[in-house]
Each structure stands twice: as structure tokens, then as C-alpha cells.
Structure 1
Amino acid sequence: MTITSALRIGRTMLAAALALSCACGQPARAADDDSGPFWASLRKDQANMRVGPGRDYRISWIYVRGGVPVKVLRAREGWVLVEDQDGARGWMLTQFVTRKVHTGVVKGGPAEIRENKDGSGRLLWRAAPGVVGRLGDCAGGWCKVDIDGRQGFVSQTAMWGAGAP
């Protein structure tokens, strides 16, 4: 066997190995990524955001308030890549987030909480920036909100976590 023949066989084996590894890895990535971006809330009062998807990666943020909304960008082997309302991105264990509770946080200035689902009716109160509320259905640019047991309707644009992620 010549050196040229050995190189061709080596290249062929390498190409086959790469094709096989790509073919085997693709379904796992597709299954992880098919959750797409979605809203979630922090499940625990303390949650670590890491720079990578593993416990060996450094912690970039420690959240100390449960219920805070996050945008889940993708999932990977028990970890989710999240973004918070300030734009910070990092990885969290899936056990720290839940899709069952949909919350939003008041952004910008104070948000007016109104009596009716179309934003009409009397002003019930104003919620300060940073206040977290449990969101209900959103329609016509207004969302039902429950903040510590007080309910009303808030403009979808006033809440980070409302609308499409």
C-alpha cells in the first residue's frame, strides 16, 4: 500500500466518522431546541445563572427572588439558556424554572392597572417598575394581572414577559 492510498483511506474513514457523528448528534439537538423561545418564571427564591450549561461553569448571577420572569431561549441536557429583563443571558438548571406560572415584571415607568380588559374603566392603581405580577390572558394589547391578590388589567407593553417571547 502506498502512502497516497493510506491517506485516502484515512480521509474516507475520517469523513465517514464525521458524517456519522453529525447524523447521530442532530436529532438530540433538534429535540433539545424544539422548545424554542418561551416565557418561564423562576421557581425558587434562589437560582444561579451560569456562563455555561454545567455545574463546573462559573456563576454570573444569583437570583434571590422567586417568580421573576425569564425568557428561555433554548434547552440542552437539563439546562436552559435564559435571558432576564435586563438582557443578561446565562444557563440555569431546568429545575429552577417553570412554564406553569406565567409572570411579568413592570418595565420603564409605573404601569396603570385598569378595571376592564380593554384598558377602559377606572384606574385601580399604579404598579412601580420592578413589580412582578402573575399574568393571565392577553388580548387586544391588555393582559389580566394579579399582583399580590389585587387584580386588574395592564397594558401588554408595560410588562416584560407579556406577549410573544
Structure 2
Amino acid sequence: MRWILLVLCLAGAASAQERGPVTNLPLPRYVSLKAAEGNVRRGPSLSHRIDWVFKRRDMPLEITAEHGHWRRVQDRDGQGGWMHYSLLSGTRTVLVEDEVVLRARPDAAALETVKLEAGVVARLGECSVEWCRLRAGGYRGWARKDGLWGVAADEVRE
């Protein structure tokens, strides 16, 4: 009986979402690059070497850790390091991984409004279990979530 209780306690602890020690926000979480360029450092301070420079404003990034004013981030390919929090925005964007069709409603039979090519960065709106509302290049519509990076598969947004 004790083993079952221990296993249940451990399972409950593993399923609880981790929180950042600085912001108390969930980890991991998605943000976007606020600046046109952002240095990515090997460690959480200005004295650490710059390993990368992200050069795409609004690019979605995933925060995986926090330390003071620094956030450990990674891009879609898993590349990243530490960035100063002032270079990041809570505005949510997604990266189109495969060509997606924007539709007038979150329904596969709905009218197509436009196709977005792979690599397009779009502003993220509300999301259901399978669909997200996007804005890009003056167009807006609903896209299936499975062709996007920057939104969790189980994430629902209002």
C-alpha cells in the first residue's frame, strides 16, 4: 500500500507544471523576440560569450529557465542560450512549419482565405484544441495547430 501511495505522489508531482523562480510563470512557455536583433549568450550575464544572434523580430522562442533578468530560450531547432528579458515580449507569435491554409472558421470545410508558406511568422490569437486564429501580412483566419511552432499541442487560448 505504501508503494502505491508513493507512486501516486510522485506522479502528481511530475504532472504539476514547473514555475519560473523569478516570474512564477509556467516553464516552459512561449514568447517572441521584441527587438530586431538579440544576442544569445552562453550564460546569464553580459560577461558570457555571445553564441548566437537572433535577427528576426517577432520570432517565437521558448523560455526554458530563468535567472535574475535573464531567460534561457530556444528556437524551433533547439538552438539558443541566455537572453536579457528586455529583448523578449509576451506577445505570442508562431512559426509556420509546413504550408498552412487560413480558413474563415475553425473548420476544414470553411472557405480558404490564404495559404501561408513555411517560415512565415504570424501573430497568435485564440486557439481551440485543434485550431488557432492567426494574423499575417494583412490576412487573418484559422489554421490547424499541427503545422505551427510556438503553441503547445494542448494549449487553449481565449
Q: What fraction of aligned residue pairs are identical, expressed as a percent?
A: 28
User: TM-score, normalised to structure 2's length?
Assistant: 0.79
Tell me if structure 1 keeps the 8 A contact 2:32–2:92: yes
Look up the equivalent residue of 1:106 and give its one-letter code: V
Match of 1:124 among 105, 113, 130: 113
Aligned to 1:87: 78
Aligned to 1:70: 61
Taking the aligned partners of 2:145 and 2:20, their CA distance within structure 1 comes to 31
- How far did residue 122 of structure 1 move? 1.8
SS of alignment partner, residue 157 of structure 1 = helix
- How far did residue 30 of structure 1 move? 6.7
Tell me if structure 2 keeps the 8 A contact 1:51–1:60: yes
Tell me if structure 1 keeps the 8 A contact 2:34–2:58: yes
Aligned to 2:104: 115
Aligned to 1:14: none
- How far did residue 31 of structure 1 move? 2.9
Cα RMSD for the two superposed structures:
1.9
Q: Point out the structure with the larger helix share.
A: 1
Look up the equivalent residue of 1:46 and give its one-letter code: E
- How far did residue 92 of structure 1 move? 0.1
- How far did residue 33 of structure 1 move? 7.0
- How far did residue 120 of structure 1 move? 3.1
Look up the equivalent residue of 2:105 and give its one-letter code: N
1:39 matched to 2:30? The reply is: yes
- How far did residue 65 of structure 1 move? 1.4
Tell me if structure 2 keeps the 8 A contact 1:115–1:124: yes
- How far did residue 88 of structure 1 move? 0.6
Aligned to 2:124: 135
Aligned to 1:105: 95
Structure 2 unmatched ranges of 5 or more: 1-18
Taking the aligned partners of 2:118 and 2:56, their CA distance within structure 1 comes to 15
- How far did residue 112 of structure 1 move? 1.4
Taking the aligned partners of 2:69 and 2:20, their CA distance within structure 1 comes to 14
Tell me if structure 1 keeps the 8 A contact 2:20–2:66: no
Taking the aligned partners of 1:66 and 1:87, their CA distance within structure 2 comes to 18
Structure 1 unmatched ranges of 5 or more: 1-28
- How far did residue 119 of structure 1 move? 3.5
